[in-house]
Amino acid sequence: MDDSRSIASLMPDLFKIPRPIVDGSSALIIGANLLHIDVIQMLPILQGMEPKIDTSTEIKMYATLGGYSVLDAILKAAPKDYMKLLWTPCQDFPVWIGSVKYTDTLDYLLNVFDHTRFGDAVVEGLENIPALVTLQEIISLYRNDTIKSTLRVSEIGSDMIEISSESNLMDAVRMMFQKGIRRLFLTGGRGNSVFPFISSRDIIRFLFSPLRLDAATKNPERWADAKLSDIEASEAKIIHDGHIVNQAAREIGEGVSSCLVCESSKKVVSRWDIVMKPWKADNHSFGQK
């Protein structure tokens, strides 16, 4: 992988991509509704949250609202406080992502992803108007062979974690946090060409749906009382174990939770795997800015 090229040279239209934002004083019920949009991983929080510097790396960090921060807040709240939680300002639940300059290298960007463990970073432009760069932009570079890797998908995949569809929703969320994963595959639900799973984003979409929020106004304590079978599952496509990373990039979906399952090994291949595993295989240290 040639990762010494600048972000600007690889992504000349980055600042033209529309990115939703959320005001820090907006209620969680408003911010989390924006996370319904499947391509949004993080919502930058404007107003009320100043950037901070990570003292160990000197990376400037920006506050955002993400699916994990929302689920963490729900997990920590008592059911009797759910309604209060829904109207708490978004700035009370920040996730901090790193930032880069438009002139920084791809290597430096991936180091920022690796340090923060999020596939999103704020890009500071020449006119001080920030943009957002995500894993999806790098996936696009693999799709058009701007970046290439000969690694096979079976070499970059992760183990599949399964759960019964009759499991309690909040028990599933606890499992996600304990194992540090974003999706749980449903046992006994495999078809000929897809693997059903419930992602953290599917849970957000369910909890903040109009129907569920309407039910919450009538009985707030039952808002998160559900089974995984109540949630519409996502589906992972099957890919041949021998396909290389570039082919996986062309087959994976556009959504932040999209993934592939290797046909023989049953390894799960996410956007993070496609982008970060080949880069890590080169044993990079903190890169050139």
Question: Which amino acid is present at 27?
Answer: A
Mean pLDDT of 79-102: 95
Q: Residue 287: what pLDDT?
A: 38
Q: Which of the four pLDDT bands, split at 50, 70 and 90, describes residue 2? A: low
DSSP string, 194-249: EEEEEEHHHHHHHHTSHHHHHHHHH-GGGTT--BGGGSPPEEEEEE-TT-BHHHHH
Tokens 């595993």 correspond to 277
Across residues 2-30, what is the average pLDDT?
90
For the chain, the structural domain boundaries read 7-143, 153-281
Segment 55-77 shows an average pLDDT of: 93
Amino acid at position 232, single letter: E
CATH 3.40.50.150 fits 7-143, yes or no: no
Pick the CATH number of 153-281 from 3.30.479.30, 3.10.580.10, 3.90.105.10, 3.60.10.10: 3.10.580.10
Q: What is the mean pLDDT of residues 94-102?
A: 94
178, with CB counted inside 10 A (0-12, 13-18, 19+), is exposed
User: How far apart are the C-alpha atoms of 225 and 234, rounded to whole Å?
Assistant: 20
Residues comprising the chain, all counted = 289
The predicted structure's pLDDT at residue 288? 41
Strands 52-53 and 95-97: unpaired
Amino acid, single-letter form, for residue 265? S
Report yes or no: 200 and 257 within 8 Å, Cβ to Cβ.
yes
pLDDT tens digits along 153-170: 999 999 999 999 999 999
Global pTM reads: 0.91
Cβ atoms of 184 and 246 within 8 Å: the answer is no
Question: Which residues in 241-257 are b (16+ Cβ under 10 Å) and which e?
Answer: bebbbbbbbebbbebbb
**68-83 exposure pattern, b = at least 16 Cβ within 10 A, e = fewer:** bbbbebbeebebeebe
Check residue 165 and give its pLDDT.
94
The reply to whether 7-143 and 153-281 are identical in fold is: yes
pLDDT, tens digit (0-9, with 9 covering 90-100), for 18-34: 888 889 999 999 998 88
Instruction: Report the pLDDT value the prediction gives residue 144, as an integer from 0 to 100.
Output: 95
Answer whether 201's CB lies under 8 Å from 183's CB: no
